[in-house]
Structure 1
Amino acid sequence: MTPADSNPAASGKPPAWDREHTVRHDGLVFDVHEAGPVDGTPVLLLHGFPQSARSWRRVVGMLRAADRDLRLVAPDQRGYSPGARPAEVAAYRTATLAADVLGVADALGLERVHLVGHDWGAAVAWTVAAHHPERLASLTALSIPHLAAFGRAIAEDPEQQALSSYIGVFRREGAEELLLADDARRLRAMYAGQVDADDVEAYVALMAGGAAAPALHWYRAMGRDLRDLPAVRVPTTYVWGEEDQATARASAQWCADHVDADYRFVALPGAGHWTPDQQPDVVAREVLARVRGVAAPPA
């Protein structure tokens, strides 16, 4: 583990983190951001598309205020970290992305973590939970449900089929140029006014700076049938915004069928896809309840 920038404020990064490091895994170098004591209870946070670890800064701030004994760890994942951008599409299979999570945890000496994921980070988190339950103390997934529920909805639910039509576009060659054309007009529109303008500018710069093609490779490499993922057997909370532009109600409701453990489903009226940005207080509350192993207080 190699220390990186020790002064986030001086580098223009949001001041959510105490430490920034790089870790090596699979011949790649991942940027990792941390807050809280190194001997604290480990909570590993996985960002989605098209964001970065920056997306967790509000949630991290609230978790830190609520519990000073948490070790909060957020990597910039494969394709997002400049040192972890293989060229080939096959390097971005979901199983490989899940192996990255374990590799980062191993590099940091974390045998068992509370895992949190949003969007693609949730898809990867479900995969880790399904195949490596011994490495998790709990799971909190935001937006994307268990992949078997999501896959069933893509196959059977007209609303989910319509919402997921963008996936076919993202798989196409040249999709990165389409997203970045006209000052990234289409990319900016994806945030739907639900993400702060300064964060949007940071994500646009990240994509334009070389992350766009690798990030889209996650879609290009994903399996065609998501319904093969086994059930999850770790304590799980699933948080879904009722106005989510990526996940239909059927997907969200069917998620419970694929968790064989303590399960909490939190539906947020009026919330869209970007829940860590829109409702970081709710996300922090649900994560903290899972970490503590207690029922979350009413909203």
Structure 2
Amino acid sequence: MTGHERVTTFTRDGLTFDVRDEGPIDGLPVVLLHGFPQDSRSWNKVAPLLHRRGVRTLAPDQRGYSPGARPRARWAYRMSELQKDIAALIEQAGLGPVHLVGHDWGAAVAWGLATSQPELVRTLTALSVPHPAAFGRAVLTSRQLLKSWYMVAFQLPWIPERVIAPDGPAYRVLLASGQSADEAKRDLEPMRDRSRAQGALNWYRAIPFASPGSLTDKVRVPTLFVWSDGDTAIGPVGPKLTAQFVDAPYTFEVLHGVSHWIPDEAPERVAELLGNHLLGQS
């Protein structure tokens, strides 16, 4: 592709991924990566605000979420594969280096791609989840391990698939975390499809396959990190440590009174911060 054609799908290793490509076709290219248990719709409030600023957004449904990209083996969801998926999107779209934005697990993928293939990333923006090395230190030195209990629970077979079903306990957990009822239903309803639920959970089940060395690499592209102090999943220690792992212009923003679900809950503020970050580095 030339970069001036709409991208509705891309392929890699026999898998087909769905993409929401919106905004001005010649606009500043921004790739938006969703987290768990969401999909590209998690950016529905942010994307239109970016389009008004002349930004073109490409939001893929990532591995496990796109119907055509749901391998069954958990090792197929290791971080290196998730990063290569997004590299394939950028390369096939013909966009050159892009502004890369990720929330939750999408932030983890964005951190990884920015370190492994910085030539594809013009700027990095991570929402909620800190640099992997900072997160690892937080697990060892703070209450972060208690906050991340579900990462261990999701290693179990079969049971988590039932937990994240629309009528399972996950709905109440999402509400308790600050998500609205409508958005919790939006994210859990697709989990009726067992293959999707398994694919989404396999992101957690593939954690043991991560390469430890790659987690400590520093980011060397301009970086914006946004954390919210109402986040029940990510405590303050990892976010505070993240600056140590960025060797480039770095901005850290704290959203007060906002839950983990930043793109849904504070889209105007996210769009404002992104606009300043992207346009300031373009």
The reply to whether TM is greater than 0.5 is yes
| Match runs of 1:53-72 below 5 Å | 53-65=40-52, 67=53, 69-72=54-57
The aligned counterpart of 2:107 is 122
Distance 1:46 1:135, change over 3 A: same
| Alpha-carbon offset, residue 35 of structure 1 | 1.0
Q: Is the 8 A contact 1:31 1:76 kept in 2?
A: yes
CA deviation profile, 1:50-102 (whole Å, cap 9, x unmatched): 0000000100121122x1x3111000000000000001111100110000000
Q: Is the 8 A contact 1:160 1:248 kept in 2?
A: yes
Q: Is the 8 A contact 2:175 2:181 kept in 1?
A: no
Among residues 200, 207, 210, which one is paired with 2:184 in the alignment?
Answer: 200
Q: Is the 8 A contact 1:112 1:134 kept in 2?
A: yes
Among residues 35, 58, 61, which one is paired with 1:48 in the alignment?
Answer: 35
Aligned length: 274
Among residues 58, 76, 87, which one is paired with 2:72 in the alignment?
Answer: 87
Say whether 1:186 aligns with 2:153.
no
| Match runs of 1:1-299 below 5 Å | 21-65=8-52, 67=53, 69-157=54-142, 159-180=143-164, 183-192=167-176, 194-209=178-193, 210-223=195-208, 228-293=215-280
What one-letter code is carried by the residue in structure 2 that aligns with 1:131?
Answer: S
SS of the residue aligned with 1:116? strand
- Runs of 4+ residues over 6 Å off in structure 1: none
Distance 1:219 1:193, change over 3 A: closer
Q: Is the 8 A contact 1:141 1:238 kept in 2?
A: yes
Q: Is the 8 A contact 1:79 1:85 kept in 2?
A: yes
In structure 2, how many angstroms separate the alpha carbons of the residues matched to 1:191 and 1:47?
A: 19
| Alpha-carbon offset, residue 34 of structure 1 | 1.2
Percent identity, aligned pairs only, is: 45
How much is the aligned-residue C-alpha RMSD, in angstroms? 1.9
CA deviation profile, 1:111-167 (whole Å, cap 9, x unmatched): 21000000000000000011111111100100000000001111222x111101111
Q: Is the 8 A contact 1:151 1:226 kept in 2?
A: no
The aligned counterpart of 1:10 is none
What one-letter code is carried by the residue in structure 2 that aligns with 1:266?
Answer: E
| Alpha-carbon offset, residue 290 of structure 1 | 1.5
In structure 1, how many angstroms separate the alpha carbons of the residues matched to 2:255 and 2:112?
A: 24
Q: Is the 8 A contact 1:45 1:75 kept in 2?
A: yes
In structure 1, how many angstroms separate the alpha carbons of the residues matched to 2:91 and 2:175?
A: 33
In structure 1, how many angstroms separate the alpha carbons of the residues matched to 2:170 and 2:104?
A: 18
What one-letter code is carried by the residue in structure 1 that aligns with 2:58?
Answer: V
Unaligned runs of 5+ in 2: none
SS of the residue aligned with 1:139? strand
SS of the residue aligned with 2:176? coil
TM-score by length of 2: 0.91
Q: Is the 8 A contact 1:127 1:229 kept in 2?
A: no
In structure 2, how many angstroms separate the alpha carbons of the residues matched to 1:80 and 1:173?
A: 19
In structure 2, how many angstroms separate the alpha carbons of the residues matched to 1:226 and 1:161?
A: 18
Unaligned runs of 5+ in 1: 2-18, 295-299
- Larger displacement relative to structure 2 (174-183 or 214-223): 174-183
SS of the residue aligned with 1:264? strand
